[in-house]
Structure 1
Amino acid sequence: MSLALSEPVMVFDIETIPDIEGGRRIHGMADLDDAGVAKALSQLRIQKTGSDFLAHHLHRVVAISVVLATRDQLKVWSLGTPESGEAELVGRFFEGIERYSPVLVSWNGGGFDLPVLHYRALVHGVSAPRYWDVGDEDRAFRYNNYLSRFHWRHVDLMDVLAGYQMRANAPLDEVATLLGFPGKMGMSGAGVWDAWQGGDIQGIRNYCETDVLNTYLVFLRFERLRGRLSPEGLAREEARLAQMLAQAEGAHLQDFLAAWQGAPETD
């Protein structure tokens, strides 16, 4: 039994920084420079919640990476180019859904990535009718759409594996490592702002790509868990990914492959 791919599967992840202009506008911080706005937003958030993690609508998307799997194709890449603005990145993401209607796969995409993308699409005037369809245009979407938590057109692995219980949520890095996959490589989400300020946009994109690779590997195990892959099918899909990585350009992809192949096997 190989991976059932009657529809394309698109694993995705986003990286974000503080929305400096938005925060400046909302809080009347015209007299502060960017660093000052970022610090002020962080302090306001700590005062309100005890954490400096900003509200969803104050995140600006700087990278979106995907693994696209079809019967005939498997690839990993980051949307746009390092020079692409947020509007282009968000627009490309929803254009892909519009064109291919893929099954979306994420880690905490329902809790973070998709709500952020909703707000940023709103900011930039992006149109995404296929994504927002709940059966008005396509009757099949009434029973399986991107927005309903318990449907399968978007599989938020963190949410599903936790049995939809927040107290059972686990970090991708730890689950990936538990399963013998590389886990976080290069940086963490907390380091994206510093990397952005230092001009290391490519480093952010590379890090995001390794995150979606971890997520895809966890997804393959999940497909085995729910009986959609046999042990032989899982081995074939993992071998297909390894072959793709071996042929891919980019030191970060070669490093990921080496870390994966060098990890001890799990039972």
Structure 2
Amino acid sequence: MNVLAFDIETVPDTETGRRLLDLGDLDDQDTGRAMLHRRRQETGGRDFLPLHLHRVVAISVALRQGDRFRVWTLGDRDAGEAEMIARFYEGLERFQPDLVSWNGAGFDLPVLHYRALLHGVPAPAYWETGDNAQAFRWNNYLNRFHWRHLDLMDVMAGFQGRGTAKLEEVAVMLGLPGKLGMHGSLVWDRILDGDIQAVRDYCETDALNTYLVYLRFEVMRGRLDAQGYADEQARVHRFLETAEGEHFQQFLAGWEARPLWQGHNSQDKDSRGTQEED
């Protein structure tokens, strides 16, 4: 397996907001408030900003490569947005993994497109569609229906907006810890308070949840059998046992590592058959 599950966290791009709204040297907090207020006026109440007005503050990844599995956030605590985005695309260039996300096609990747455009970050492997590499013609990162980027939310919804679900709810349904008390709506406040580490930790647990949901999907898709699924869960479990960070230990404690579901075994079939005959 060569798989990279990822997640990003964002805040308002106050630098662009100051220019768009002609706010002069207004500070970040008040600029962000002005941007959100303007957005509520535009939408009749919704304050979720357009994707090009998001600034990336964390990119976390869960990488399964060879026999290794690990989770980390790109760059150190002081890394700038351009560095984090460059590291993300450099990783795709180097490893060319299968990307896995939850709503990545609808949010994470378009945000990264705009921010890479802003910072002039090259990403040739990501944008390749077969002109220079034949293997990408029928399986690239950009096509919604290809597998090189698997947006789990989109696929599980049958590519229908009305079928989408929240990562936290699906994770909890599968016995995973979910958000651990943090939420995306709190990221801006944490950044204003200078607590970037809380945001990085939260982003890493979302990448973990995404990867573990992906493993379950691989069983459903027929690419992992019961033993393979158990082995992959154990690999993640071993990482968490030795990983530094309280959030990893909280995740491990909250993870109900269930075995593969027991539906469709012979005993169930026999009992159902008996009931139907009765």
How far apart are residue 251 of structure 1 and its match? Answer: 1.0
Say if 2:11 and 2:57, in contact at 8 Å, map to a contact too. yes
* 1:179 aligned residue: 174
Distance 1:153 1:29 in 2: 42
Distance 2:31 2:75 in 1: 27
One-letter code of the match for 1:205?
Answer: R
How far apart are residue 55 of structure 1 and its match? Answer: 0.5
* 2:266 aligned residue: none
**Does residue 51 of structure 1 match 2:46?**
yes
Which of 6, 14, 21 is residue 27 of structure 1 equivalent to?
A: 21
Distance 1:223 1:71 in 2: 17
Say if 1:57 and 1:120, in contact at 8 Å, map to a contact too. yes
Distance 2:260 2:142 in 1: 36
Q: Output aligned runs, 1:175-254, within 5 Å.
A: 175-254=170-249
* 1:147 aligned residue: 142
One-letter code of the match for 1:42?
Answer: L
Distance 2:259 2:66 in 1: 29
Distance 1:146 1:130 in 2: 9
* 1:130 aligned residue: 125
Structure whose CA Rg is larger? 2
Identity in percent: 60
| Higher RCO (CA 8 Å, separation ≥ 6 residues) | 1
Structure 1 residue runs of 5 or longer lacking an equivalent are none
| Stretches of 4+ aligned residues off by more than 6 angstroms | 262-266
**Does residue 18 of structure 1 match 2:17?**
no
One-letter code of the match for 2:238?
Answer: Q
> Number of aligned pairs?
261
Structure 2 residue runs of 5 or longer lacking an equivalent are 263-278
Deviations 1:33-69 (A, max 9, x none): 2222111110111112231011000000000000000
One-letter code of the match for 2:114?
Answer: Y
Say if 2:226 and 2:260, in contact at 8 Å, map to a contact too. no
How far apart are residue 146 of structure 1 and its match? Answer: 0.4
CA RMSD, Structure 1 to Structure 2 (Å): 1.5
One-letter code of the match for 1:36?
Answer: D
Say if 2:175 and 2:256, in contact at 8 Å, map to a contact too. no
One-letter code of the match for 2:31?
Answer: V
Distance 1:255 1:117 in 2: 29
State the secondary structure of the residue aligned to 2:255: helix
How far apart are residue 30 of structure 1 and its match? Answer: 1.1
* 2:34 aligned residue: 40
* 2:273 aligned residue: none
Say if 2:179 and 2:205, in contact at 8 Å, map to a contact too. yes
Distance 1:29 1:109 in 2: 32
Which of 85, 101, 110 is residue 115 of structure 1 equivalent to?
A: 110
TM-score normalized by the length of structure 2: 0.91
One-letter code of the match for 1:10?
Answer: L
* 2:92 aligned residue: 97
How far apart are residue 207 of structure 1 and its match? Answer: 0.4
Range 39-48 or range 53-62, more displaced: 39-48
* 1:66 aligned residue: 61
